[in-house]
Amino acid sequence: MKNRLSRAAAAGGHGRANGWPVAVVAAWRGWSGCALLAACGGAFAGDQLTVTELAPGVFVHVGIHAGATPENQGAIANVGFVIGEHCVAVIDSGGSFAEGVALRSAIKTRTALPVCYVINTHVHPDHVYGNAAFAADRPHVVGHRNLAASMRARQAYYVGYLERTLGAAQAAQS
């Protein structure tokens, strides 16, 4: 992961000086610990997303262990962000546009730095449907080289899933 992320950071013109590889490893270790200890549980209501600072500049929202519903707006995955020296990296953007907006708001309350990266760890809808909330930031989207093709291949199913679980309005935004 270190080399790929360093190359992705360098390609974005921000280089390795930001410390992204170290910060991302710290985030993953923190998220794993929170999941195992259930110590960082958070709520999501409307546009408020509870995030916990695991280490300086490393934040996580621990999703609930349930299926996506209109009430939880698809906020069932662990999502978070790392504040670097020059910008912010989002690690998974959430299960809906609404969750992505709430995550973006949580970032903006903690830093004025721009979001330069949205890292999609994998193709599941609860991890990628918040991406649209960051479109105005024009971030580099980082993921597996087959991520875009996988998303296209599953698009009809995932859009249907989102419409069935969260409603047509949320699906249209996400």
pTM of the model: 0.75
pLDDT given at position 122? 94
* Residue 13: partners with Cβ closer than 8 Å, 6 or more residues away: none
* Residue 146: partners with Cβ closer than 8 Å, 6 or more residues away: none
Question: DSSP readout, 68-128?
Answer: --TTTTT--S-EEEEE-SS-EEEE--BSSHHHHHHHHHHHHTT--S-EEEEE--S--HHHH
Structural domain including 95 reads 2-173
pLDDT given at position 48? 81
For the chain, what is the domain count? 1
pLDDT given at position 40? 47
Residues in the chain, pLDDT under 50: 1-41
- CA 20, CA 103: separation in Å to the nearest integer? 19
Given a contact cutoff of 8 angstroms between Cβ atoms, the answer to whether 84 and 92 are in contact is no
What torsion do the CA atoms of 116, 148, 105, 67 make, to the nearest 10 degrees? -150
- CA 30, CA 109: separation in Å to the nearest integer? 21
The CATH number of the domain holding residue 166 is 3.60.15.10
